[in-house]
Chain A
Amino acid sequence: MVAQPAGLLFSKDHEWVKLDGDIATIGISDYAQHSLGDIVYVELPRVGATLQQFAGIGVVESVKAVSDIFTPLGGEVVEINAAVEADASLVNREPYDGGWFYKLRLADDSEKKNLMSGDDYDKLIAEA
């Protein structure tokens, strides 16, 4: 288990968000990476793409399966993590650090209300 950093927001689809002003960094939770198993490929949106909250915007693939990435917030993609495209196992090793997926500039700050705190997310996965 990788410790969950404080201050993150989560979606019920197991994505996390770290907010820094109007820039959101997005990845998948430790629970999600563990459930997927060995991650071998990540397909991310392009820089400049405009994403709608909760839309399927990419995929993460384990040896056995393809899973959609649903963006937890809407906005414009300003950066993608080339390191996880080159070595997807980073998502297994460092889901909350080196394994982040992309950053976007928030379109609508009020979309945060559709996300949950780390504590609420822990409760959700404890019930899963």
Chain B
Amino acid sequence: MDEEPLRRTALFEVHRTLGARIVPFGGFEMPVQYAGILAEHDAVRKRAGLFDLSHMAQFELRGDDVAAWADALTVNHVAMMKPFQARYNIFTNAAGGAHDDVIFYRLPDRWLLIVNAGNAHKMWAYLEAERRGDVQLSDLRGETGLLAVQGPRSVEVLAPLVAADIAALKYYTCVETTAGGAAAIVARTGYTGEDGFEVFLPADAAVGLWDALLAEHHGVLAPCGLGARDVLRLEAGMPLYGHELTEEITPLQAGLGWAVKFAKPFFTGKAALEAQAAANAYPRIAGLVLDGRVPVRAGYRVLRDGTVAGEIRSGSIAPSVGNKSIGTALLDPASATAGTRLGVEVRGTEHPATTVALPFYKRG
């Protein structure tokens, strides 16, 4: 367990002034909500939301061997990335389970690797232990901040404060530019299912950009906490490490087979994943929609004809899915087929549900 005292991002006092409710998350004291989770969710789907994601660990990688080295530790392509591309990837263990899911950003002279806050210590130790050849690692935590602007009006909100033409930026690419006057990397990436940007900048510039964005876009841009972020990502069918993806749940089980490149000559866990794919008998993540309103939570049992078929991994009420109660579940393969009728056990009572394909929500 992490014995360190909780850390604060550069924006901690700003969050407090805005009336945020603060909770421990990934070793940091982070805002879970400001005005309310549902109001913030609505802002991101219809207008724009502003998130402080400075708790996420930013590692910088340099050296001639970074690409080949990282390709051997992850399921997706790294060396094939071009400068200013971003790519989702997963570090796997020998059994094919996930150490972490991450994003690589390739820059002309270096790489930026964004790691889940809760996995920061584990991943730093792992990368250090696995380091080979010309690979230099630096931990940018504490030095750099990360703000996200997400929602259909993100371009309108962020563009006036960024030197580069971000309207022209393609999805999953980035640019080195200035934001709010500070050197920054602006990427068209996110975790909400909406258009949007993530801005990496020096920690001491994060407050200035945050304040400038909110001051200039009052009524359009809402500060959003981790509570809204979780509902948004769940509706969009995006995995959350520790829920849909773990050291035990492989990328194939999580429905992330698209990111697993078996054409790569080698990567840690490849043999195990090939065997898992060939047998095709593994429990897998699927979406569930409840008939009724009762929320489902991680750990609840899922039943099929009275027998355990799996368990809920995440759940929420979904404003963008008709306010229905939705969840992800790790299910036996037969139960994971869309249209299967199942039950979720909530406080001893079985509530009917139907398996659906992910995502629950796709932007129009």
Q: Does B74 sit at the interface, judged by CB under 8 A?
A: no
Note all chain B residues with C-beta closer than 8 A to A40: 293, 295, 317
Q: Mark A48-68, 1 if CB is under 8 A from B, else 0.
A: 000000000001011110100
Note all chain B residues with C-beta closer than 8 A to A31: none
By beta carbon, the residue of chain B nearest A63 is B37
Q: Does A38 sit at the interface, judged by CB under 8 A?
A: yes
Per the 8 Å Cβ criterion, residues 274-315 of B in contact with A are 293-295, 297
Q: With the chains together, A59 CA to B293 CA distance in Å?
A: 13
Shortest distance between the CB of B7 and any CB in chain A (Å): 22
Kindly identify which residue among A38, A41, A59, A88 contacts B37, using a CB–CB cutoff of 8 Å. Answer: A38
Q: Does B231 sit at the interface, judged by CB under 8 A?
A: yes
Q: Does B347 sit at the interface, judged by CB under 8 A?
A: yes
Shortest distance between the CB of B226 and any CB in chain A (Å): 10
Contacts A63-B227, A64-B32 given; does A43 touch B37 at CB 8 Å: no
Q: With the chains together, A66 CA to B38 CA distance in Å?
A: 17
By beta carbon, the residue of chain B nearest A42 is B293
Q: With the chains together, A79 CA to B231 CA distance in Å?
A: 34
Note all chain B residues with C-beta closer than 8 A to A38: 36-38
Would you call A41 and B36 a contact (CB within 8 A)?
Answer: no
Q: Does A7 sit at the interface, judged by CB under 8 A?
A: no
Q: With the chains together, A41 CA to B294 CA distance in Å?
A: 6
By beta carbon, the residue of chain B nearest A64 is B227
Q: Does A37 sit at the interface, judged by CB under 8 A?
A: yes
Shortest distance between the CB of A88 and any CB in chain B (Å): 8
Shortest distance between the CB of B316 and any CB in chain A (Å): 6
Q: With the chains together, A51 CA to B126 CA distance in Å?
A: 55
Note all chain B residues with C-beta closer than 8 A to A61: 294-295
Q: Select the residue from B32, B227, B293 with max chain A CB neighbours within 10 A.
A: B293
Would you call B37 and A64 a contact (CB within 8 A)?
Answer: yes
Shortest distance between the CB of A73 and any CB in chain B (Å): 23
Per the 8 Å Cβ criterion, residues 303-362 of B in contact with A are 316-317, 325, 347
Which residues of A are at the interface with B, using a C-beta cutoff of 8 A?
37-38, 40-41, 43, 59, 61-64, 66, 88
Which residues of B are at the interface with A, using a C-beta cutoff of 8 A?
21, 32-33, 36-38, 227, 231, 293-295, 297, 316-317, 325, 347
Contacts A43-B294, A59-B347, A88-B293 aside, 16 further interface pairs with beta carbons under 8 A come to A37-B21, A37-B33, A37-B36, A37-B227, A38-B36, A40-B317, A61-B294, A63-B38, A63-B227, A63-B231, A63-B316, A64-B32, A64-B37, A64-B227, A66-B295, A66-B297
